[in-house]
Amino acid sequence: MTLMNVLVDFARTGRVGPLHCGMPLAEAEELLGPGRPHPAIRMRPDIDGYPYAWNGLELVVTQRTVSGIWIRLRPGSTTDLPPLVLPDSESYSSTVLREDLIAGLDATDCRHDVNDRLTFGEQSSVLTRPANVCAVFFTPHREEHVPHRERHYLGVIHKHTA
């Protein structure tokens, strides 16, 4: 399994392996181990809408239930994802071109539309159907070392419950 496989499968299904929106946080932590809670959660354990992180994977939690799944990438760097998400891997290149992810979606017949709400300026976004997963692409920041500075790279792919 590769990072691209994980990203395309997430975009198609709205799931990352067995992880899905609506599952109890306790169940996710049984699968992943304890996550790093956002500092707001440490201050107020009952606060909603903040993530627990497992390196590049974040689960947003509302009322102790997973309400969002995020995979964050930094072009020109590597990403670490839990073995449950990306088996047999400690880290993968997190440089994913927009056209490569789109080609992966097309190859699996995953429908996608431009997400007008998040397409402006130096970024673009697509929303997959029927999973409603949002992928946001950016031109690289100054400190991100990539071969093609004018192209769009995946920065985050995420799903939220309503």
Spatial neighbors of 119 by CB under 8 A, at least 6 apart, are 125
**pTM reported for the whole predicted model:** 0.91
In the prediction, which pLDDT does 21 show? Answer: 97
Report pLDDT digits (tens) over 36-55: 887 777 677 777 787 889 98
Report pLDDT digits (tens) over 81-90: 898 888 876 6
